[in-house]
Amino acid sequence: MCRLDRSKATSRHTFLFISGTRFWKFHLSVAQSIVVLLTLPLVFALVIVAYGKQTDGNHLVEQAKRAFVEGHFLKARDMFSQASKADPQNAEALYGYARCSHMLHFYNEAVAAYEKALKLAPGDERIWEGYIESLLWGGTIRSDRRLLEQARDEGFEALSRWPDRPSLYRAFLKALMELKEAQEYGRYLESIKERFPKSPVLFIYLQRMKLHAANQAKRQQEADQIKDLIRSELASANQEAISNGTLAPAELYKIYCARDEMTVLSRDTIGAERQGQPLALRL
């Protein structure tokens, strides 16, 4: 609340701003008082407009998400675009626009939107995941080495921050394979292990490499031992998660052993599969 008290002796005005139990008092000249009185309504109006835009943006984002789930990617993309224009600081709108662009194979637009979203929400692992996937597929389809190298570098950066995201491993390895650098995969993972020695997902991917080598050399006994190690790690991690009351690793990924190959599904894919949603959904 703002209250004005005028002092005739000094031709000055005292402004008293009250907020809750706190107040501030300012002594201004007549000219300064006029400027304040003219400016305050404008400031309040701008605040109201900004809040309205943010509300509109959030409403559009929720509508766009529903359209995305229903598979209407063009419609969802347009709505995410409108939400972003209504609220340029809405990282979720930019992320949704990027995801729809990726689904529609507009990889350049997807990459650009992901980069804008990352500036607003640099700690959002979903945005990093989608960003790397768009770099990877854009580079693969167009045989663009620059995009593939970017996918490799950004993929390593993301894995170094979130070593328990299975989809990041797949995208990172795919980028290395496209660049014909797959032999470096183990070196990258070992360097991440130095920072995250207790990551169950990283442990499993390192064991997968050993399992692949054992299978290639037809060392069946060694391959069976590695599978037992992985199962033991899962059981141990699950028990620890249950004791701590946290999400069990079995909910983060599933491992299937078939024909001596390992298939890892991410938490997002499993969740979408159970709910009958498109497997590409990450919103």
Q: Is 246 helix (H, G, I), strand (E, B) or coil?
A: coil
Any idea which residue has 């675009």 for tokens?
A: 81
Question: What is the rounded CA–CA span in Å between residue 39 and residue 54?
Answer: 23
* Element holding 132 (H helix, E strand): helix 125-142
The predicted pLDDT at position 167 comes to: 84
The string of DSSP letters for 192-223 reads: HHTT-TT-HHHHHHHHHHHHHHHHHTT-HHHH
The pair of structure tokens assigned to 276 is 């009958």
Please indicate whether residue 6 or residue 115 has the higher confidence score (pLDDT): 115
pLDDT for residue 17 is more than 70: no
The predicted pLDDT at position 244 comes to: 64
pLDDT digit string, tens, across residues 150-189: 999 999 999 999 998 888 998 999 999 999 999 999 999 9
pLDDT digit string, tens, across residues 236-281: 776 766 666 554 444 444 433 333 333 333 333 333 333 333 333 3
The predicted pLDDT at position 48 comes to: 42
Q: Among residues 150, 59, 144, 69, which one has the least CA distance to residue 103? A: 69
Q: pTM value?
A: 0.67
The pair of structure tokens assigned to 241 is 């998660």
Average pLDDT over residues 20-49: 51
pLDDT digit string, tens, across residues 178-237: 999 999 999 999 999 999 998 888 888 898 889 888 999 999 999 999 988 888 887 777
Mean pLDDT rounded to a whole number for the chain: 76
Contact 211, 260 (CB under 8 A): yes
C-alpha angle 268/249/222, rounded to 5°?
A: 110
The predicted pLDDT at position 225 comes to: 93
Q: From residue 106, how far is each of 5, 58, 137, 155 by CA, in Å?
A: 61, 24, 10, 20
The predicted pLDDT at position 279 comes to: 30
The predicted pLDDT at position 175 comes to: 96
Q: Is 279 helix (H, G, I), strand (E, B) or coil?
A: coil
